[in-house]
A = this chain, B = another copy of it.
């Protein structure tokens, strides 16, 4: 790969300093309109693209986020990553993707790699998070956001599904359709999200003046076949 054209190159061509080129390219209103025009013109001709790595150094932000997953091939994770990438991109960020396969050693390497690359933040879209991340990343003071997980810490946030409200809405929907005997099928692992959904369901049932029937509540494998 040949050396990409730099701000200096185009300054040389146009006959101005690289400072001026930089200003022009960043649309600084201070530079003379005609000069700016010439500069942009040449930049275009030369296929100039600012080096984010040069820029990152002075700006002290890399415009990247790191994303660690346990397994990329997991379709749920895939969906989340897809969303992350889309939004990141819309805001000028790129995303580093790494997978840990739940291996603590890998987790450590990933954190290290992200740190060395000076990511502006990391996102962990899996509910099972090694505490590794949290410890290491907060020591580095890198902002971190988790999915469906709450952990205290100055630099860590978590975005969660509102399972209670979801349980309510699902139930309301069915009642509005005219159904009167609505069953609840939940996960037998009995985690918090299940409890929340169930109480959403229950509260709507009761508010509607319907009997809460225990036999209509089943806990089973949290898989599609499990629902049968």
Contacts and interface: CB of A to CB of B under 8 A. Distances in A.
Interface residues of A, number: 48
A208 B82 CA distance: 48
A151 interface: no
A52 interface: yes
Contacts of A117: 52-53, 64, 94
28 contacts: A1-B141, A1-B143, A4-B115, A4-B118, A49-B116, A50-B116, A52-B116, A52-B117, A52-B118, A57-B57, A64-B96, A64-B117, A72-B79, A72-B82, A73-B79, A73-B82, A75-B75, A78-B78, A81-B97, A82-B99, A85-B97, A85-B98, A86-B99, A94-B113, A94-B117, A95-B96, A95-B97, A95-B98
B49 A57 contact: no
Main secondary structure, interface of A, reads mixed
Contacts of A54: 57
Interface string A1-12: 111100000000
A94 B94 contact: no
A160 to B, nearest CB: 21
Given A51-B118, A73-B82, 15 more contacts: A1-B140, A2-B141, A4-B140, A49-B115, A53-B53, A53-B62, A53-B117, A75-B78, A81-B97, A85-B97, A89-B109, A89-B113, A94-B96, A94-B113, A95-B96
A47 interface: yes
Contacts of A4: 115, 118, 140
Contacts of A142: 1
Nearest to A143: B1
A180 interface: no
Contacts of A116: 49-52
